[in-house]
């Protein structure tokens, strides 16, 4: 993928999103969509997701982040454009 066609987004997911498998859900979704980046828990109870890839794939990931895994209760997803950075895969950061 050329640099021009690569874009990046960052999301902050609120609700019951820690301790329910949300990071694993996000990693699986992003990997299925061919995106690179990371997901991590934040100290304030939110989950941060950063992904880089094609615009349509990022939009699909955003839709999946709103759903979350079965036991999650997503109350909000804040999104912002981000600077594309070089990641070779999508990882869970601890």
Active site residues: 23, 41
Q: For residue 20, give every residue at least 6 positions away whose Cβ sits within 8 Å of its Cβ, in sequence order, or none.
A: 68, 69, 70, 71, 72
CA atoms lying within 13 Å on the CB side of residue 73: 3
How far, in Å, CA of 92 to CA of 29, rounded?
A: 12
Backbone angles phi, psi at 10, to 5 degrees: -130, 135
């Amino acid at each position: 993928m050329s640099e021009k066609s690569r874009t990046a987004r960052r999301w902050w997911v609120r609700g019951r999103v820690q301790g329910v498998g949300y990071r694993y859900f996000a990693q699986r979704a992003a990997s299925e969509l061919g995106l690179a980046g990371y997901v991590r828990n934040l100290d304030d109870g939110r989950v941060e997701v950063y992904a880089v890839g094609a615009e349509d794939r990022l939009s699909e990931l955003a839709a999946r982040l709103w759903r979350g895994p079965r036991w999650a209760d997503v109350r909000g997803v804040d999104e912002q454009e981000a600077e594309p950075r070089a990641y070779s895969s999508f990882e869970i950061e601890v």
